[in-house]
Amino acid sequence: MKNVLLTGCSRGVGLVITKVLVSKGYTVYGISRNLSNEYKNLMNSFPKKIKFKSFDLSNVNDINKEVFKNYIPNSTKLHAYINNAAIAYDDIITNLNVDRLENMFKVNVFSPLNIVKYAIRNMIFNRNSGHIIHLSSISVHTGYKGLAMYAASKGALEAFSKNTAREWGERGIKSNCIVAGFMETDMSSTLGDDMKNRIFKRTSLKKPTDLNSVANTIEFIISGNAKSITGQNIHVDSGTI
Amino acid sequence: MNNKDKLLTIINEVLEGTQREKMSKIKDEYNLRLDIGFDSFDLAELTVRIEEVFDIDIFEDGIVETIEQILIKINEK
Ligand SMILES: NC(=O)c1ccc[n+]([C@@H]2O[C@H](COP(=O)([O-])OP(=O)(O)OC[C@H]3O[C@@H](n4cnc5c(N)ncnc54)[C@H](OP(=O)(O)O)[C@@H]3O)[C@@H](O)[C@H]2O)c1
């Protein structure tokens, strides 16, 4: 039985990742602040395979106790941690608000880094060559007006992931980023049609990124079929140019 | 089993994990790196295994270099 810790399970990409992983036999330990109806329905369909814990990732210091000791102790052998939860703070740089910036970095960066700390500890305790996957964004590689602060938080994850791969490769632990293009979820729902069209024009396929292709790429990376892939940024972005 | 024997068992688990020879005893003054031969990955594993048994993170505040320093932290708890 392969256990996966997935943050941001309640909506958007996280919900699709949950469906794909469960269909492949994984057990999903989901985390988000709210239990959505969709996730609740999934739990009812697969009661043994889908777990849920409500936790607010802005509480960086409670990770060890709440996420690990009380939810995923060492006796639960962790196969993968998928860092999917995130918030987007969208504004131009001259409007930067430090409190909002700090909160975004707590959720997008500080908590995920702290979770990686304990995920690796679980993996070395269990002598398990596990996986760490971060959801990054194409905005790190192709600038967009209004996304500088958000992109900075994702760039931090990409740097951390590369170094995690280097540091822990010797123990078989792998770390990769999925660099997603624009997807139709709540996160992007505030963008106007004009902005969306400009984003699509910069892709080869002229389409939003398909959530299933993101979820299935993640499943491929953590399956036994991609053992030699680590330290990579894998673009799933409709060919953004 | 006293704490020192428990610690010896944990150290041997770490050594066994990388196919190294087990130790029959440990002395308070043993240096983890120099006398036992642990590198930083072994020390990370040691920390995790000690935390599992004693519920204490020995490296959380400062550096620990000898068996005695670990025992002090465990006994203080
Ligand atoms: N949408 C895009 O265009 C796009 C593009 C590139 C990359 N990405 C990345 O893809 C990932 C998934 O994004 P999405 O579009 O699915 O976003 P979304 O629809 O906004 O969902 C975000 C998820 O994160 C959870 N979350 C947010 N704040 C949280 C907190 N403080 N504590 C715990 N959980 C929290 C939410 O659950 P609760 O609200 O219940 O807490 C929700 O499940 C993110 O990392 C995002 O940066 C998205």
- Please check the confidence at residue B77 and state whether its pLDDT lies above 80: no
Contact list, B49 vs chain A (CB under 8 Å): 125
For residue B41, give the nearest of A74, A125, A171 by CB distance. A171
What does the buried/exposed string (b/e) look like for A43-67 if buried means 16 or more CB atoms within 10 Å of the residue's CB? Answer: beeeeebbbbbebebbebeebbebb
Answer whether residue A232 is part of any domain: yes
Q: What is the Å distance from ligand 1's center to A188 Cα? A: 10
Is the Cβ pair A121, B49 closer than 8 Å? no
Domain that holds residue B34: 3-76
Answer whether residue A176 is part of any domain: yes
Is the Cβ pair A121, B17 closer than 8 Å? no
Residue A133 sits at the vertex; the CA angle it makes with A149 and A146, to the nearest 5 degrees, is 15
Neighbours of A26 (CB within 10 A): 23
- Please check the confidence at residue A233 and state whether its pLDDT lies above 90: yes
| Distance from the B52 Cα atom to the nearest Cα atom in chain A, whole angstroms | 8
Q: Is A238 left (phi over 0), alpha (psi -120 to 50) or beta?
A: left
Overall domain count for chain A: 1
Site residues for ligand 1, CB cut-off 6 Å:
A 7-14, 32-34, 56-58, 84-87, 107, 135, 137, 180, 182-183, 185-188
Mean pLDDT for the stretch of residues A21-39: 98
Q: For B44-65, write each residue's pLDDT tens digit.
A: 999 999 999 999 999 888 889 9
Given a contact cutoff of 8 angstroms between Cβ atoms, the answer to whether A77 and A122 are in contact is: yes
Answer whether residue A92 is part of any domain: yes
pLDDT band per the 50, 70, 90 thresholds, residue A70: very high
Answer whether residue A241 is part of any domain: no
Q: What is the CATH number of the domain that holds A39?
A: 3.40.50.720
DSSP for A206-220?
-SPPPHHHHHHHHHH
Q: For A133-149, write each residue's pLDDT tens digit.
A: 999 999 999 998 999 99
Global pTM value: 0.97
Q: What is the CATH number of the domain that holds B46?
A: 1.10.1200.10
Interface predicted TM-score (ipTM): 0.93
- Cβ–Cβ contact A125 with B under 8 A: yes
| Mean pLDDT over the full length of chain A | 96
- CA A121/CA B38 separation, integer angstroms: 17
Neighbours of B37 (CB within 10 A): 12
Is the Cβ pair B41, A121 closer than 8 Å? no
Overall domain count for chain B: 1
Mean pLDDT for the stretch of residues B27-45: 96
